[in-house]
Chains A and B, each alone.
Chain A
């Protein structure tokens, strides 16, 4: 037919072209987000009660890095230290003499904690949504956040004591372990419910929310029975915030986050296949039950470790992945890193706003996040009307 010939004459976008175009777009977004996170971090390090120029901020970071590299080289490998000293240019100290203390001592740990927490929660959200094939799933809605906070709160109240000493755990580590144990417990409950017969997706969410309340009740009762000194610390978990930031926390979380990211990223194709349903995934040679347990365990681990330092932080796990899905689609190879950076950017910017809008008074990051998060959630629901989220 002549009509068909005409259609053939129009160049049709081939699968090859579409794939390459899609990949380019996705990589571009990842690079863009990476730049956004780095820029926000530098700007965030400069603003606060004491304002610093971007030059001073960068010099403070650079100079302090250079000095500590020099110190450690002289301390451990004096052979190379000679070469290092011979480098003809040096990074000058910032003009403001206090810049280094403010930036490196106080602001950077907090910035890193915000980035790592945002990443972990967003990755956990993205992976959990895929594993349970439910768009409303996140560490927050599944009760994981509350459960992990309860674990952390319990650790604060009872202290490492005998159990901690027996496990050779420091105070910080004990909190992390307890957060993980309780986080994992709540996930096992949710997973068990999701496996029992006749469970609908809404029952799953409902169960998660209710489990969250039960653990919140636990945290609240701990608040009553504990003494004043520890009460202050407890409030942190309830409100959620970056007050717990320290270089120790950052150095502990950094490797955990990187390992969780790599382990989950390796399962990206299996997560993609799972989007076609359990039956198809099984036919494609994937051990669905094992993948689900493995993925939930790793994402719970990543999320609960961060929650141990920050307390309940909601919406990141829901917001990050959804925004990314809308922009770049559902390919988990890109969705995981993209969500991670999106989560990092959202939390970092929210936290910077939280500590600067009413400076010197600091407001909880939750105020900023939940307000924007709530609006986003409404947008999702309105958008879903007539279209269906999944």
Chain B
């Protein structure tokens, strides 16, 4: 599947929060959206997810504008995990994950749908928590449940907005490894907004660097996430460490002077 974002713009009232964003991705590819708070990452993801209508530009899937695709079919193609998630106290983990199968369920739930829920939970090693209530979980576990819901949706394009924000270091790596594996195994695409530059560096094929809604850089992580670029966008001095395990970005102080 070929996803093409072409000259996408989004205005909130008078304010342009996303300005002429263009990029594309194919099967098995992960694009990381990087940029400071308020740079337009969430807006871009929400617009692709169909939560917002674009003010200008188009989003194409295999040459088709997503506006021309039936919302029910689109729900089977695009899975979205928002940054801030809502849940109800009285829902269990598997009921929450089951919502991902909404468009495949008419009324009663078939064994096949339940198996998919089980698979999604197992992929994130959450199988043993299936019967727990959402409010019995820690913030990180809850975040994994929402990722599992998107996995159960079985889309060709995943959209994750800060999927690792509530996770500890171990789970961050685990979840990113799982996502990397899923993109390769299923040949699906992923757009992930991340704050952790090292996660973007390690797991993304391409990085899109945003600032104030404008695209600052787009390309391979090593070409975009340079100390110079980071300094311009974030106002932070950093250096790159290279060792046997790869390259790592180390931001160490707020830029002084100008």
Chains A and B bind each other = yes
Chain B min CB distance to A262 (Å): 13
Q: Which of A118-142 contact B (CB under 8 A)?
A: 133
Kindly report which residue of chain A lies nearest to residue B131, judged by CB atoms: A18
A-B complex: 8 closest residue pairs judged by Cβ atoms:
A285-B75, A277-B86, A283-B80, A285-B71, A330-B90, A15-B118, A329-B90, A285-B72
User: A276-B87, A388-B135 are known contacts. Are A329 and B102 too (CB-CB below 8 A)?
Assistant: no
Q: Is the CB of A388 within 8 A of B89?
A: yes
Q: Is the CB of B94 within 8 A of A276?
A: no
Q: Is the CB of A283 within 8 A of B79?
A: yes
Contacts of A275 in B (CB 8 A): 86-88, 91, 99
Asked if B170 CB lies within 8 Å of chain A CBs, one says no
Of B43-51, B184-192, B202-210, the one with at least 4 CB within 8 A of chain A: B43-51
Q: How far is A282 from B103 in the complex, measured between Cα atoms in Å?
A: 12
Q: Which of A265-289 contact B (CB under 8 A)?
A: 269-270, 272-273, 275-280, 282-287
Contacts of B149 in A (CB 8 A): 276, 280
User: A269-B102, A276-B99 are known contacts. Are A19 and B75 too (CB-CB below 8 A)?
Assistant: no
Chain B min CB distance to A281 (Å): 9
- Identify 11 new A-B residue pairs, CB closer than 8 A, beyond the known A275-B88, A285-B103: A18-B130, A276-B85, A276-B96, A277-B84, A280-B149, A282-B49, A283-B51, A283-B80, A284-B75, A285-B73, A388-B135
Q: Is the CB of B79 within 8 A of A14?
A: no
Contacts of A172 in B (CB 8 A): none
Q: Which of A18, A283, A389 contacts B92 (CB 8 A)?
A: A18
Instruction: Count B-side interface residues using an 8 Å CB cutoff.
Output: 48
Chain A min CB distance to B242 (Å): 33
User: A276-B86, A326-B90 are known contacts. Are A12 and B49 too (CB-CB below 8 A)?
Assistant: no
Q: How far is A149 from B135 in the complex, measured between Cα atoms in Å?
A: 39
Kindly report which residue of chain A lies nearest to residue B103, judged by CB atoms: A285
A-B contact pairs, 11 of them (CB 8 A): A15-B117, A15-B130, A269-B105, A272-B95, A275-B99, A276-B86, A279-B46, A280-B149, A286-B102, A325-B90, A331-B95
Contacts of A133 in B (CB 8 A): 86
Q: Is the CB of B130 within 8 A of A13?
A: yes
Of B15-23, B33-41, B106-114, B214-222, the one with at least 4 CB within 8 A of chain A: B106-114
Q: How far is A14 from B92 in the complex, measured between Cα atoms in Å?
A: 13
How many A-B contacts are there with CB distance less than 8 Å? 114
Asked if B74 CB lies within 8 Å of chain A CBs, one says yes
Q: Is the CB of B82 within 8 A of A277?
A: yes
Contacts of A326 in B (CB 8 A): 90
Q: How far is A115 from B115 in the complex, measured between Cα atoms in Å?
A: 40
Asked if B253 CB lies within 8 Å of chain A CBs, one says no
Q: Per-residue 0/1 for B111-149: is the Cβ within 8 Å of any A Cβ (1 yes, 0 no)?
A: 100110110010000011011000100000000001001
Q: Is the CB of B80 within 8 A of A279?
A: yes
Contacts of A388 in B (CB 8 A): 89, 135
Kindly report which residue of chain B lies nearest to residue A272, judged by CB atoms: B99
Contacts of A278 in B (CB 8 A): 51
Q: Interface on chain B toward A: helix, strand, loop, or mixed SS?
A: helix
Q: How far is A297 from B75 in the complex, measured between Cα atoms in Å?
A: 26
Q: Is the CB of A15 within 8 A of B80?
A: no
Q: Is the CB of B94 within 8 A of A15?
A: yes
Q: How far is A278 from B84 in the complex, measured between Cα atoms in Å?
A: 11
Contacts of A195 in B (CB 8 A): none
User: A275-B86, A275-B87, A285-B71 are known contacts. Are A15 and B114 too (CB-CB below 8 A)?
Assistant: yes
Q: Is the CB of A280 within 8 A of B82?
A: yes
Asked if A16 CB lies within 8 Å of chain B CBs, one says yes
Contacts of B95 in A (CB 8 A): 272, 329-331
Chain B min CB distance to A42 (Å): 32
Asked if B78 CB lies within 8 Å of chain A CBs, one says yes
Contacts of A273 in B (CB 8 A): 99, 102
Contacts of A325 in B (CB 8 A): 89-90
User: A276-B85, A279-B80 are known contacts. Are A284 and B99 too (CB-CB below 8 A)?
Assistant: yes
Q: How far is A228 from B235 in the complex, measured between Cα atoms in Å?
A: 78
User: A286-B102, A390-B88, A390-B89 are known contacts. Are A16 and B114 too (CB-CB below 8 A)?
Assistant: yes
Q: Which of A289-346 contact B (CB under 8 A)?
A: 325-326, 329-331, 333
Asked if A387 CB lies within 8 Å of chain B CBs, one says yes
Kindly report which residue of chain B lies nearest to residue A327, judged by CB atoms: B90
Q: Is the CB of B87 within 8 A of A283?
A: no
Contacts of B111 in A (CB 8 A): 16
Q: How far is A243 from B74 in the complex, measured between Cα atoms in Å?
A: 53
Kindly report which residue of chain B lies nearest to residue A265, judged by CB atoms: B107
Kindly report which residue of chain B lies nearest to residue A335, judged by CB atoms: B90
Q: Is the CB of B89 within 8 A of A389?
A: yes
Q: How far is A290 from B15 in the complex, measured between Cα atoms in Å?
A: 27
Contacts of A15 in B (CB 8 A): 94, 114-115, 117-118, 121, 130
Contacts of B50 in A (CB 8 A): 282-283
Q: How far is A232 from B159 in the complex, measured between Cα atoms in Å?
A: 62
